[in-house]
Amino acid sequence: MAAEITIHLVKTFPGRPPIRARIRYPVEGATVLILFGPSGSGKTTILRSVAGLEWPEEGTIRFVSRVWLETASGIRVPPQERHVGYMSQDYALFPTYTVTGNIAYGLSHLPSAERKKRVDEVMELFQLRGLEQAKPRELSGGQQQRVALARAVAPRPLLLLLDEPLSALDAPTRLHLRDELRVLLKQLALPSIIVTHDWAEALTLGDVMAVIRAGEVLQVGAPIDVFSRPQNADVARVVGVETVVKGRVVEATGGMLRVSVDGTALLALEAESIGPDVFACIRAEDVVLEQGRASVSSARNHLTGTVQSVTMLGALARVTLDCGFPLVAMVTRSTVEEFKLAPGLVITAAIKAGAVHLVSRQEA
């Protein structure tokens, strides 16, 4: 039987609806679980419960063969015996400690020579050389993030728990460190659970993703499947991007990238540090349907597609198209009536280049 992580819990804060998580997934060397959802949905509470920093009133938390929580039989393993690395959203570095002091914090059980060796190793790994004596306030946001990660990883935890690891950073640093973090997690061969509400982070970093809303786990699956095939309208609303397809950048011209998706060309705005292998992501509301060839919009992409399905959702309708790849559009009820949208109809989908978001993808 494959090694698994099980997180089943109920946690209630006074005056709030209970947080109920049911997540179970296979774990290998560096499997990353993403907890994805809007603010206040319960992601941090689930992460803190796995760390042992929050005590659910009911539940089971198992990591491979270890049981950390089983309320039915009274098992409650304290945080220090779980051997997890935890990084909170604000990094929580000790302000009066130096960089090495912060990193050495969880290594007090080691003899001093070994402790020094391990600190040196992680300083090297996280490219912190030269900053040994610096205090947290003297570091940039990116450096603080590295020190916090180094501190979490130094004691060789079994599992790494990261709460919004990139949210405190400015956009360019965030983009750069997102790619670095992915490489690093694979290099460490350390399973991790990462909280985020950023879909690009979920796609780049995650192997498995749990979508959480109002304390309920709505769907668990591979990120690309969850984004492109949300189980229901609630999940679609939370993830907000319904077309996620694998593509390859084939040309860069005049500030645009031409991306081939199963042979169909898509134009996207040029983006920094994008490799040739990408996910092309399109929000359903950014797809405009047009009839005939005369285009009124200034969109750079005009794709011919065949309607596969039309689902009415109140005043709006979700339309799935086959454009050589599956594309989802969200249109008004009046568009459905005006264009007589129905399965089999051939129609044009217009998408602005700026609405085609590219996210780097590691080719397996």
Ligand X SMILES: Nc1ncnc2c1ncn2[C@@H]1O[C@H](COP(=O)(O)OP(=O)(O)OP(=O)(O)O)[C@@H](O)[C@H]1O
Residues that bind ligand X (CB under 6 A): 13, 16, 37, 39-45, 197
**4 near 26, Cβ under 8 Å?**
yes
Least Å distance, CB 39 to ligand X, is: 3
**Cβ nearer to ligand X, comparing 215 with 247:** 215
Least Å distance, CB 125 to ligand X, is: 28
Least Å distance, CB 90 to ligand X, is: 11
**Cβ nearer to ligand X, comparing 176 with 197:** 197
Least Å distance, CB 10 to ligand X, is: 13
Could you tell me which residues come within 8 angstroms of residue 192 by beta carbon, excluding any fewer than 6 positions away?
Answer: 30, 31, 32, 33, 159, 160, 161, 162, 185
Torsion-angle region of residue 76: left (phi > 0), alpha (psi -120 to 50) or beta?
beta
**Tokens 């190793």 belong to residue:** 121
Compute the half-sphere exposure of residue 135: CA atoms within 13 Å on the CB side of its CA.
Answer: 5
φ, ψ (nearest 5 deg) of residue 335: -65, -40
**Cβ nearer to ligand X, comparing 48 with 115:** 48
Distance of alpha carbon 266 from the chain centroid = 24
**Cβ nearer to ligand X, comparing 35 with 104:** 35
**284 near 242, Cβ under 8 Å?**
yes
CA distance 323 to 294: 18
**290 near 321, Cβ under 8 Å?**
no
Could you tell me which residues come within 8 angstroms of residue 119 by beta carbon, excluding any fewer than 6 positions away?
Answer: 100, 103, 104, 107, 154
Specify which residues 264 forms β-bridges with.
261
Least Å distance, CB 13 to ligand X, is: 3
**Cβ nearer to ligand X, comparing 195 with 329:** 195
Least Å distance, CB 172 to ligand X, is: 22
**Cβ nearer to ligand X, comparing 43 with 352:** 43
**Cβ nearer to ligand X, comparing 18 with 324:** 18
Least Å distance, CB 160 to ligand X, is: 17
